[in-house]
Amino acid sequence: MVQKDRPIYVDLDGTLIKTDLLWETLAALARQKPWEFWRVPFWAIKGKARLKAELAKRIEFDPSLLPYREEVVAALSLARQDGRRVVLATGTNVRIAEAISAHLGVFDAVMASTDTVNLTAERKLERIREDCETDEFDYVGNSRDDVCLLDAAAEATVVAPDRHARGWQRKSGAHIIEDGANKTKAALKALRPHQWAKNILLFVPLTLNHDFLDLNMLVAGLMGFVAFSLAASSVYIVNDLLDLQSDRRHKTKRNRPFASGTLPIPAGLTLAGGLLVAAFAIASQLPPDFKTILLCYLVMTSAYSLFVKRMLLIDTLVLAGLYTVRIIGGAAAADVGLSFWLLAFSLFFFFSLALVKRYTELHDFGGGAERSKTGRGYVDLDLETISQAGMASGFASVMVLALYIDSSDVRHLYDQPWLIWPLCPLVLYIIVRIWILARRNQMHDDPVVFIMQDWRSQIMIGAGAIMFLAAAYA
């Protein structure tokens, strides 16, 4: 029977929240002050308490954004209403623990790590026994460090246990609150496989070179596609880890595996590293230029994730460059040439789509969107400017296409070049339609993926392919 005069001590990491604040603060430092990240190993050498303290001092922390376990918070709130003493007992640094306590308003006291003491396991148990006015207490925990506390508690509750805590729970028969999250499904979602559709761009040089029926080139293109997809997924994971706070402010991105706490941060780092190794293992089987281009892609996208994405207009230019790099990578994988016309068209076309992406993100935030909220270099007043610049860039890509169709290059490549002229209105249709849908707030947040999945756009692309074939073989 529950004793109302028995205090409840509650762990924080993995118990009250779905994440681990040591990893959260490391990610926050990498995002907010990357120039100080080199200090982390030196802090760690001096002990976990020092590491946690230094991180807590340097980051901006908003406790309202954390992924709390609502059922645990609700249970603690009811216990406190019943007159029970509820204490937050955590290994997290006291600065952060007190901010969380103040935000939730369900705790009577806080005991946490200081600059010199890491309050976990036996240290925490000793502190609880000193604090406890009775000989008995209840404890809510989740991990190996909590086993000694769970064992000492009069009544123990295990929340989303790790294998050590689960093993203890099975022996003791203590109450358990399961997490209910499918980690495998969350890991697959973190890869963003739907974004791999953008890597179809690697096949553009092969198609335009009329070598799409060459089996060796097709295999090389497929290998390049897989390598780029795996490398891109590793970057998506790192990007999500760096964007935890801004994603949690977003109405849909807050449901991403890391922002929601469904997938642990260490698992994400391991997964990203494995994907990167696999990508370069595949790239090693392709021409040397492909590995160089893949490395350039990773450098560009990493720079984008770390700081470029917050730079006004530079971010969209880099995004356009990343799309174009995929085309260059496809040419390198299949060992075919690239034309000036294709690169010029790609730059203007993808700059337009990058601006669509920014327009959609800014529109989703609604009125009052500021740089501090969006994590980007834009505010809500920029919507009209972004729209005008995006449509102008799209029209410029059509102009490049028209000049290409009228060039001597086309007359040498195609028997009936006049059959390619309808490509111009087809591309115009795609661009203008995307911008109309964006302004109606009906656009996927990545327009390239939208084009690959939208049946009307697919019809336009298919019609364009038929025109190329007809012009080449009619």
d(CA 150, CA 242): 34
Predicted pLDDT of residue 1: 37
Predicted pLDDT of residue 309: 82
d(CA 16, CA 143): 12
pLDDT in 10s for each residue of the chain, 474 residues: 356 678 999 999 999 999 999 999 999 999 889 899 999 999 999 999 999 999 999 999 999 999 999 999 999 999 999 999 999 999 999 999 999 999 999 999 999 999 999 999 999 999 999 998 777 899 999 989 999 999 999 899 999 888 888 888 887 778 888 887 788 999 999 999 988 988 989 988 887 776 666 788 889 999 999 999 999 999 999 989 988 988 898 888 899 999 999 999 999 999 999 999 999 999 999 999 999 999 999 999 888 877 888 888 899 999 999 999 999 999 999 888 888 888 999 999 999 999 998 898 888 776 655 655 555 678 778 889 999 999 999 999 999 999 988 888 777 777 777 888 888 999 999 999 999 999 988 886 678 888 888 888 889 888 887 887 777 666
Question: Rounded to the nearest 5 degrees, what angle is found at the Cα of 303, between the Cα atoms of 252 and 196?
Answer: 55
d(CA 30, CA 243): 10
Predicted pLDDT of residue 29: 94
pTM, to two decimals = 0.84
Predicted pLDDT of residue 19: 94
Half-sphere CA count of 3, side-chain side, radius 13 A: 13
